[in-house]
Chains A and B, each alone.
Chain A
Amino acid sequence: MSAAGARIGVITFPGSLDDGDARRAVRRAGASDVGLWHGDADLHGVDAVIVPGGFSYGDYLRCGAIAKFAPVMTEVVRAAGQGMPVLGVCNGFQVLCEAGLLPGVLTRNSGLHYVCRDQWLRVDNNTSTWTTRYEPGAELLIPIKHGEGRYVAEDPVLDRLEGDGRVLFRYVDGNPNGSRRDIAGITDERGRVAGLMPHPEHAVDPLTGPTDDGLGMFLSALDTLVAA
């Protein structure tokens, strides 16, 4: 498959905000972007899916709790089970946790404040589909903007995530939300499904973001799709 032949879908829920930037990031990485509609139980043959940031269904009940029942998510869960790469950013991370594709849950920031700033992250693991372009230990500057980004899971779950190398990113230079063990992003057992609170799609062009450090996530997945 050529890079441009790789089709990466981006879901739009009612209340999604970052679907436009996610699609732009996909194009900037060299792949083709495909819009996916929340009410449409069809992935239209895409090779990977991005669940973008925003406030799906108004964040009612809990962040991501209603989105997980959207018709498109049933298909995402099924495709993820078959190994399709899936990335959840911010609200998308919350949706993937609620849907059971990733362990744990994102809760109200410990300081109660909505935090919007450029944040340093450290790459913990580069073997997942979405992080192969990074060097382990590399530090990235990527925007965060969330009110409920404190990653919580029981200690045995956290121990297993760390022991299996499934923590992808940690916050450095200050934990913005009280996340357990400074966790900013994780992946599933196969390294195909990833979720993180920071917004790599907002850091793909130095003209509009702090860096282009986020582009590597999209290029990483594209490498896998092209090699397949």
Chain B
Amino acid sequence: MARVVVDVMPKQEILDPQGQAVANALPRQGFEGISEVRQGKRFELEVDDGVDDDTLARIAENFLANPVIEDWAVRRVES
């Protein structure tokens, strides 16, 4: 078993109103110096050893992310 993390983020050119709302709320709480926030998703998968990188890429590309608007990255981490 291995732990796999899939990060899904809105593409840089895609408007991210949720991230903007977070960014706009920070100064109201007294936090200065943060110019941009982008909001995405993180998936943690417990994966059998037989699942290869190509399979994980297809899961990310076809299901966890919508590549029209989102970038994704798969990485295996120590569990």
Contact = CB atoms under 8 A, between A and B. Distances in A.
Interface string B8-28: 000000110110010000000
Chain A interface size, under 10 / 10 to 19 / 20 to 34 / 35 or more: 10 to 19
Interface in B16-44: 17-18, 21
A150 B10 CA distance: 14
Interface string A195-223: 00000000000000000000000000000
A154 interface: yes
B10 to A, nearest CB: 8
Interface residues of B, number: 10
Nearest to A154: B68
Interface stretch (A5-13, A17-25, A104-112): A104-112
A110 B17 contact: yes
Contacts of B18: 108, 112
Most chain B CB atoms below 10 A, which of A109, A111, A152, A153: A152
A111 B64 CA distance: 25
A61 interface: yes
Nearest to B65: A62
A107 B14 contact: yes
A111 B18 CA distance: 9
A98 interface: yes
A108 B64 CA distance: 17
Given A152-B14, A178-B15, A65 B21 contact: no
A104 B68 contact: yes
Given A61-B64, A65-B63, A98-B66, A108 B17 contact: yes
A112 B14 contact: no
Interface of B: 14-15, 17-18, 21, 63-64, 66, 68-69
Q: 7 closest Cβ contacts across the A-B interface?
A: A105-B68, A112-B17, A105-B69, A110-B17, A105-B66, A108-B17, A152-B69
